[in-house]
Amino acid sequence: MATKEFFSTEEWNLIRMTPILVMAGVAVSDPGGLIGAFKESFAGMNSVLGALKESSNLELMSALLADKGMPTMPDKKEMLGEGNAAQQSANFKNSVLEYVKQALALVKSKGTPEEAVAYRKMMAEVAERVANAAKEDTFFGFGGVLVSAGEKAFLDELNATLNA
C-alpha cells in the first residue's frame, strides 16, 4: 500500500496534478464558452473527489483525498510550446498525455495493483465527465452535442494511454 511517504515531493505532486491536467486536456480539445467552462470544471472536480471517496479504502487514494493543498502545476508556456493556436492546443494535449504516462507508471511502480487500477479509472472517469458536462457547438443554447469530435479524439488518446 502506497502512502504519501512512498513518494518524493515531485512524484507526489505529479500524481496529484495529473487528474487536473486531464480535465484541462478535455477542455482544450474543444473550448466552449464561459458557462461551459464552469460546468466542465465543476464536473471534473466533483469526479475527482467522488473517485477518491469511492476508493478511500485504498491507502493511496485516501492519502490523495486527505491532501487539501493545491499541487504545483507545470509551466503553461512549456506545455503550449510554439506555433499557432491549433499547434499549441496539440502540444498541450500531448504534454497532458505524457504526464498521464508518467503518473500512471509511478503509481504502478510504487502502489498496489488495486491502487493503479483505481488511479487509472479515476482519470478515465474525470475525462468522461468533463466531456459530458456541457454541450459543445451550440447556438444560444440550442443544438450542439455533448461530446464533440475534438473531445472524443482526446478521450480515445487518453484511453489508449491509460490502457497501454
pLDDT-derived band at 141, boundaries 50, 70, 90:
low
How far is it, in rounded angstroms, from Cα 127 to Cα 119? 13
Q: What is the pLDDT of residues 42-78, one digit of tens each?
A: 788 888 888 888 988 999 999 999 998 889 999 989 9
Yes or no: say if 100 and 22 are a contact pair by the CB < 8 Å rule: yes
Yes or no: say if 79 and 91 are a contact pair by the CB < 8 Å rule: yes
Yes or no: say if 20 and 71 are a contact pair by the CB < 8 Å rule: yes
- What confidence score (pLDDT) does residue 39 get? 79
- What confidence score (pLDDT) does residue 138 get? 55
> What is the extent of the structural domain holding 84?
4-162
* Mean pLDDT, the chain, integer: 88
The structure's pTM equals 0.86
Cell 469511492 locates to 54
- What confidence score (pLDDT) does residue 35 get? 66
Q: What is the count of structural domains for the chain?
A: 1
In 5-143, which residue ranges form alpha helices assigned H by DSSP?
9-29, 34-54, 59-66, 76-80, 85-110, 113-131
